[in-house]
Structure 1
Amino acid sequence: FQALCTACHGADGSGMLALGAPNLTDDVWLYGGSFEKVAHTIRNGRNGVMPAHKTLLSEDKIHLITGYVYSLSNK
């Protein structure tokens, strides 16, 4: 998360509206809040705004980051 996500979503995951990066710490999910939907977003990106990370991350790392992102809104 720190290496790839904080530039847009912030170190705490609260997002940066000016960039179009949503807050990951609330319970609002634009494309569905299931583990599978979050992993899909990380893997494939969204609408040309969020880049796809499938070429940068292994499936294991995508799984771990998905778990972390998912946990941010379930505090």
Structure 2
Amino acid sequence: MRTLFVALTAGALASTALTGTAGASSAKPVPTGSAAFTKNPIYKTGKFASQTCEEPPIKGGDVDSVRI
């Protein structure tokens, strides 16, 4: 039990030590208010293509026909 606790604690400490954030110099300011809807960089990429997706046929009682 103690070995499991030590292993989990070591893993938690190691994972938090390796996390970080991107440098502030590389990040652009995030738009707020109504500008968040209109000044978002995603809108500069162009119009999204419209697509249709058909649902595959599903056989009742057949689990494999439901899997993607």
TM-score, structure 1 length as denominator?
0.19
Question: Greater relative contact order: 1 or 2 (C-alpha under 8 angstroms, separation 6 or more)?
Answer: 1
TM-score, structure 2 length as denominator?
0.20
Rg (Cα) greater in structure: 2
